Structure 1
Amino acid sequence: MLSKDGFGNVIALQSDTPLQVGRKHYLSLWNNEDPEGRVWVPDVPPEDVVLDVSKTTLLCDLESSLGCMFQPLPLVVRVIHKSRLRYYGKPGLKIDYPYQAYFEVADQSGTMSLVLWNELCPEWYQRLNVGTVLYVQNYTLKQSYPNRSRPQIDNHRMKSFHSVEICLNPRNPTAVLTVVPAKSVPSQWGLPEVSYQFTTRSELESLPNNSACDVIGLVTFVSRVERIKSKGSSGPEKYWTYRWVHAVDGTSNIPFILEIFSSSQPEIFNGIYPMTYLVCTQMRKCQEQHSLPYLTSSCETQIFTTGYHKGQPYVSDQRVKSFIQWTKTLKDNVMLKKTAVGGHYSFPHPPQIFTQSVADGSGQIPLVAANDLKREMEGLHYREHKRLAIQGQIMAVRYVIWPESASSDQSAGGAVLGVSGLPRVQRTVEETETEINSETTPSGVQSSPGRRKRKRPPERVPGHSCTEEELCGHEEQSVPETEEGVSTQDRLTEQTIISRPQGPSAFPQIERATGERAAADCFRFLWESSSWQKQRTEVSEYLQPGGVYQESLSQGFKFDDKSVLLQQSNLHPARWTPELTTNTRSPVTCNGYYKITILGINQQIAIDAAFVPVMSTGDPRSLGLPQNPHENSLLSCLSSGFICPLADPVSQSEAALPEPEDILTTAEELTDTHIVCILDLCHLGGEKVEVLISKIYGMTDVALV
């Protein structure tokens, strides 16, 4: 295949086309909206041109030209909006490049839609940007498609012509496009300037629902990239990719909450990270009852981050200039404390009342039968996210320390926990034994080289964040070593094994040299319903996903780890790249999670789901979460999603949070309690399927409408 490189030079692209006969281009790996391959000509500066515009027509005259046999006169227009690509290919369709892209163009008489078809998309899509001036020849006119989305352009105060659209085809006739350099555009042409509707965060509340606006902000949080099936899509592999972003603009203490879908700008979409300036155009406001407003992408949304702002028309907008002035007053070290990358994030939060229709069983969140849960999990594709609800009872709860020991992933029979990873009550046993052993040592014996002092791993109390001293390991304590160079503490650690359940009636147990006392301590982190042992033997299926993964948790952002964090939060690349690693992972306020066993209402299916409570305002999930005080019972934590009160990492306040064993002592109230549980499912690749609890409802919080 031959194509142009943007300078008029013809280049061969046989090496970048599929080998299968009849296919001349690649699709993007994870969606159909992104350009993929060298066949897509990049944006290049236009060449100087000399044009004769004495014989041109205006957009207002085209409506009367529809259906005429003669070729309409050339147009001189400016692009004021650009949509993402649309791929309409399907099996059996004999079109080499089944792509379509809409542009809104304007001249002094008004605005009209221009459509780029098929082969012209790879050649021109990335070269036609907002603000570009075009000289268009050999186009055709057709009646507009009525059911497509359109940008809101009221701010241009121009007449819009919606009955006709301009079609640019690769043949019959072959459209001719010429990009006019900005310096060659005289004011006599009367082309309107691109206008924006920048809205500050303080003004967002007053905007009507579904209204469009443009925003600029400093990014403080970027979620991992996820996928959902395209609405109304019947073909395979038709997914939208999206991510959530928080951005502040200095006008409110609450950031913008942005749901950004892929906009056919893969380099920018995959390169969003904290501490960059982000501009999003044509975002639509969404707000549900009793929830914060958020902005979601439209088909015409364009995004720009640091490195891509140069030359964009909005740089001269007064609100953009005001934002830049505000950012000059910020201190990087202060803002970095408020940043996070990756992890599970879903918004809006589940409503306070779960509603379901009596007529057809539909609701805001689909309620599925427990028997269908396995099918839903097995049907997930890579990074596909689903939110659904199930009915049942909570039969068991276990608190799991995070991060879990690396050996726990490799051991078939059990998980070995280091001393610093043990619950407080278990560490007390080991420390007591160490003290006893050290006291029995004769005081007159001199320390040998095998008894030198070593740094003890810092203790981490479940439910609290590490202090700076703990992370740096400033505190040293004396731990005696044996003559072989292995400390008593380490030997005890090697004997500390938490066994996984073996058979339907097995309990997780701790096998230790000290025996029953340590086992009793372990059970303080486990609660089971009195009927669970019997019912567990009767269930036909017990689904046990892997719990919490590294991809499940947001991490603090560091510039040194930017490449690693971006690689982890983005989708697998289409081309092989070496895997990057870092030793400085710092999950945002997560020292452990609760593994909840839910028995379906039919008592035939059980599933383990993870509950990671919000514990700090530094957790991105805390934004918009109703934070009414509660008594920190297990039921109230599961219902509210957080442990009360939330700590503030910026002010370094240390709230007196309850210990996990204190919360588990309240679990008895869950016995024989029917609940509706909201689950977030996501396939993380390989065998990893994430099942997280967002909220549970008691039956008093369920409404039939």
Structure 2
Amino acid sequence: MIRSSSLFSSHSSFVDFSSHVFVLQTSSLSAAVCRELLRVVDLRRYGRDQGSSVYFPQTVLNGDDLYDVTLTDGHCRLCVTLDPGLNRLVERNVLHAGSTLSNATFVPAITAQHPSCPGAASAEMDSYRLESVDVREEAPSVEDHDGVGWFDVDHDSLPWFGSSEPAGPLVPLRANRSVFLPLWNNVDPSGEEWREAPPTEEEEGREEEEEGQRPAVTVSELRDSFLSGQRGVARGAVQHRLIVRIIDKSHLMYYGRTDRNCECPYKAVLEVCDRTGSVCAVLWNSVCVSWYRCLKPGDVISLRRYRVKQHYQAERDDIEISVNSRNPAAQISVLPESSVSPEYLPPAPTYSFYNSQELLDRPPGAVCDVIGLLTLSGRPERMRSKDGRGAELLEYRWLRLEDGTSSQPIMVKLFSTSQPKTHLHLHPLSVVVCTRLKLLRAADQTFLANTTNTQVYCTGLGHHSEMSYRKLPPVRRFLRWLRSQDDRQVLSRALIGGFFTYPPPPVSLETYMKDRRGVPGFLRGAELQRELEGLSYRERRTFCIQATVTMVTYRRRGQEDRSLFWTDRASSLSPSPPLSSSSSTSSFSPTSPSSAVGQLTPRPVTSGRSRKRKRLLQLETPRKRCPWFTVPTEQNQDTVILFEASMEFLENSNADEDDDDDDYTFATAPLFLTPPPVAEETLPMRYDHARRDEQAVAVVMGGRAEPGRFDSALEDYYTLRLRALSDGVSVDVVFLPSSPSPPPLLPHANTWTSILSHGAFSSDKPPPSPADLIAMADQLTNRRLVCVLEACHLGGATTELILSRAFRLPN
């Protein structure tokens, strides 16, 4: 159970949802405590405005976001606002849809919405703020609600509590906004208000669809008239009809600010053209809600009642068209191409498709279109914005596309493109087209990333049949290659989700330090711990520490109670174990070299390497060639002494037999300092075409794969315990030298030093077996390393910490 901070010390009132009774003391400071278990039905985010601070006079607003939560006890629903002091529960994905709550404390609050707004609660309606709550880690049982099936209830059919039923769709309670933001980014549309079909004729005015339609003005005439200062164009609304084709479409841009009031602070930019030229048309505010999802590149549209303005980013001799919902209310229509007079039909969009071979020769910054077969669909992650608004988190995922023209796949770092439905359907084995990407180079690797106008199209949604690019020669060549591919071979390398990093870090310390020029230096162990605690859900960051390795553990997924490991007897353990939980993949503790005791310790002898190998083979399981031992279910430090006493019986006292010839022996010890198992989200899944929708939902933001539900592409993994040289803090990190989606591999010696610096096994020889690798772990004793760590918060108490590189420090 996770307890939130309470802002009130006494609660003398209660709320009983099941009987629809809400009892308050007459004191205005009374708070109501719900003794029933509650479930979170929905969670909605929005940006606060100038008046939001009025509704939270006793708290300091945390960040720009507010959250409204819809709760149920299985009998009715209630929509409340989360106190800003509890925002961190949402930002770390502790509180989410489906969460079970107890001891929820509510305070009456007024709403920010005008009573005339559909969906707003009036002064007579019940409106509350959720002030404190316990988030339960386990789901409620049927018995919790008198036999009512908690998860079988149709929540949409439940009545609203008291008089809180809204007159229309829900709107934000504590800010004068008309739409909600998506939970995890500011780019995607969120909610049913965003239309997928154009408004009806009655809403927008009837647009004749007879053949031979003609524009009343052209782009060139608008530009000339505005720049020459003609009054009708320069100062007023333009009534003349403009017929243009959409060439490019930007993602949605949210410009809401806490110091300004705007009900729908969105804009989107369309690049449109006719036969005389091109111009930017900017959709503002509620026009975005009505039209953004309805319009796509290639559409021919008619515009009336717009304004011509100076282009806000271009030189003085260019214009833009402002399309707003008022002053004046613009009129937009999508026209069939057949209805436009041929001499006025705008030209079709152009594309610049490049295959994987051609991309190698393109300069950085070039804008490209690509088509490929998707063989890796990474999990969505987030990173901090670098455009000056550092608080914003940008959502992205990695795609690997193949087109058969080179051995190098097309790597795409795909950020949100305001196409959430399309991104959800980015399954492996889909044919994906990404337009208007920008080519980038880093660490001698080429990859593509978004521009403002990037759009994504994939099979399964009917995209390709609607787009004009399907007839282009590069697309036809790709399709010929695609038809020659074998399903089974592609499926064998198709992956979804899991940890992935690109471009890979360099393999030498000198190159890595050169690439880090201008980036803050190494963290102390305690500083790393604070940074990890500050991560938000799915936020990805890279950190560096200087450390030594004090423990290496080899494990297999699903069998973490059986392991093989090595420890440095001198410095690996301390009286206080690492701070961790069973669900966390990173843990910390201060250690002291003088107090360390080895658990699975190499014991040097003088000769007999051949007999050492014989000894290891006797310990290995026939199927996986790796020795195992079982960790006791109840880990008790009191068994250490008895365990050491029993070691004599495991050793061979005959000096002429194997023991004297063994460099190392491996034994079983109680693992009271066992690193936590790897998180389910860390290991990529093998793509299962029959269950593709389930897999897609499991890896999306807020999704979570059930343990063992899907086949993992990686069964074996290693955990290294690092001790920071700066302050002795220990941290457990996952190391994946046999990742199924490795960076370009290079030959090396397969020693621990070379494996860590390359992040993978050598490409020119078989990898060492786990037993051999553990046997070689004494190479790490007292080695000072620069460790590159990739951190990603996976929600709740789970933080993924991957060791991507470790370079040996010179003496």
Place the TM-score, normalised by the shorter chain, in its bin. Answer: 0.7 to 0.9
Structure 1 segment 152-167 matched on structure 2, within 5 A: 163-167=318-322
Picking from 445, 449, 452, the partner of 1:292 is 445
2:220 pairs with 1:59: yes
Picking from 733, 741, 753, the partner of 1:635 is 753
How many Å separate the matches in 2 of 1:320 and 1:507? 70
| 1:691 alignment partner AA | L
- 1:259 to partner: Cα distance: 0.8
Show CA shifts across 1:94-137 (max 9, x none): 11100011111111122111111111110010111101112112
| 1:343 alignment partner AA | G
- 1:323 to partner: Cα distance: 1.6
2:778 pairs with 1:668: yes
How many Å separate the matches in 2 of 1:138 and 1:108? 21
SS in 1 for 2:547: strand
Distance 1:567 1:430, change over 3 A: same
Structure 2 residue aligned with 1:657: 767
Say whether the 8 Å CA contact 1:355–1:364 is kept in structure 2: no
| 2:758 alignment partner AA | S
SS in 1 for 2:484: coil
- 1:181 to partner: Cα distance: 1.7
Show CA shifts across 1:128-185 (max 9, x none): 11011121122122222328xxxxxxxxxxxx99732111122122222122122212
- 1:33 to partner: Cα distance: 0.5
TM-score (norm 2): 0.64
Picking from 220, 229, 243, the partner of 1:76 is 243
- 1:545 to partner: Cα distance: 7.1
Stretches of structure 1 that go unaligned for 5 or more consecutive residues are 4-11, 148-159, 413-423, 432-457, 464-491, 529-541, 574-578, 647-654
2:353 pairs with 1:198: yes
How many Å separate the matches in 1 of 2:642 and 2:498? 28
TM-score (norm 1): 0.73
2:682 pairs with 1:552: yes
How many Å separate the matches in 2 of 1:279 and 1:349? 25
Say whether the 8 Å CA contact 1:354–1:697 is kept in structure 2: yes
Percent identity, aligned pairs only? Answer: 29
- 1:248 to partner: Cα distance: 0.9
Structure 1 segment 290-369 matched on structure 2, within 5 A: 291-306=444-459, 307=461, 308-354=463-509, 362-363=517-518, 367-369=522-524
Distance 1:430 1:31, change over 3 A: closer
How many Å separate the matches in 2 of 1:631 and 1:45? 66
- 1:22 to partner: Cα distance: 1.9
2:385 pairs with 1:385: no
Say whether the 8 Å CA contact 2:583–2:679 is kept in structure 1: no
Show CA shifts across 1:233-283 (max 9, x none): 5475x2211111111112122211111111000011121111110000011
How many Å separate the matches in 1 of 2:800 and 2:324? 46
Say whether the 8 Å CA contact 2:440–2:446 is kept in structure 1: yes
- 1:428 to partner: Cα distance: 4.9
Structure 2 residue aligned with 1:273: 427
Structure 2 residue aligned with 1:479: none
- 1:329 to partner: Cα distance: 1.5
Show CA shifts across 1:310-339 (max 9, x none): 211212222212222221122211211121
Stretches of structure 2 that go unaligned for 5 or more consecutive residues are 1-116, 120-165, 202-206, 564-580, 585-613, 653-658
| 1:548 alignment partner AA | V
Distance 1:429 1:249, change over 3 A: closer
Distance 1:680 1:589, change over 3 A: same
How many Å separate the matches in 2 of 1:641 and 1:198? 33
How many Å separate the matches in 1 of 2:317 and 2:625? 64
Distance 1:171 1:698, change over 3 A: same
SS in 1 for 2:731: strand
How many Å separate the matches in 2 of 1:230 and 1:498? 45
Structure 1 segment 173-572 matched on structure 2, within 5 A: 173-232=328-387, 234=389, 236=391, 238-289=392-443, 291-306=444-459, 307=461, 308-354=463-509, 362-363=517-518, 367-405=522-560, 428=618, 459-462=623-626, 497=632, 502=637, 516=650, 546-572=676-702
How many Å separate the matches in 2 of 1:357 and 1:325? 41
Say whether the 8 Å CA contact 1:396–1:526 is kept in structure 2: no
Show CA shifts across 1:356-398 (max 9, x none): 9999984468643333101110011111111121122223322
Root mean square deviation of aligned Cα: 4.1
Structure 1 residue aligned with 2:11: none
Say whether the 8 Å CA contact 1:397–1:526 is kept in structure 2: no
Say whether the 8 Å CA contact 1:547–1:690 is kept in structure 2: no
- 1:604 to partner: Cα distance: 3.3
Structure 1 residue aligned with 2:208: 49
Larger deviation, residues 53-62 vs 352-361: 352-361
Say whether the 8 Å CA contact 1:564–1:581 is kept in structure 2: no
Say whether the 8 Å CA contact 1:543–1:606 is kept in structure 2: no
How many Å separate the matches in 1 of 2:217 and 2:501? 51
Structure 1 segment 129-168 matched on structure 2, within 5 A: 129-146=296-313, 163-168=318-323
Distance 1:24 1:366, change over 3 A: farther
How many Å separate the matches in 2 of 1:358 and 1:690? 24
Distance 1:502 1:74, change over 3 A: farther
Say whether the 8 Å CA contact 1:350–1:695 is kept in structure 2: yes
Show CA shifts across 1:574-617 (max 9, x none): xxxxx875856332243232x222222313322111111126xx
Distance 1:174 1:393, change over 3 A: same
2:192 pairs with 1:38: yes
Structure 1 residue aligned with 2:161: none
How many Å separate the matches in 1 of 2:358 and 2:642? 54
How many Å separate the matches in 1 of 2:697 and 2:331? 41
| 1:599 alignment partner AA | R
Distance 1:184 1:341, change over 3 A: same
How many Å separate the matches in 2 of 1:659 and 1:17? 59
Say whether the 8 Å CA contact 1:101–1:116 is kept in structure 2: yes
Say whether the 8 Å CA contact 1:365–1:388 is kept in structure 2: no
Show CA shifts across 1:488-543 (max 9, x none): xxxx99x763876859x97997999996469x999856999xxxxxxxxxxxxx99
SS in 2 for 1:220: strand
- 1:41 to partner: Cα distance: 0.6
- 1:37 to partner: Cα distance: 0.6
Say whether the 8 Å CA contact 1:221–1:341 is kept in structure 2: yes
- 1:346 to partner: Cα distance: 1.0
Say whether the 8 Å CA contact 1:496–1:512 is kept in structure 2: no
Structure 2 residue aligned with 1:686: 796
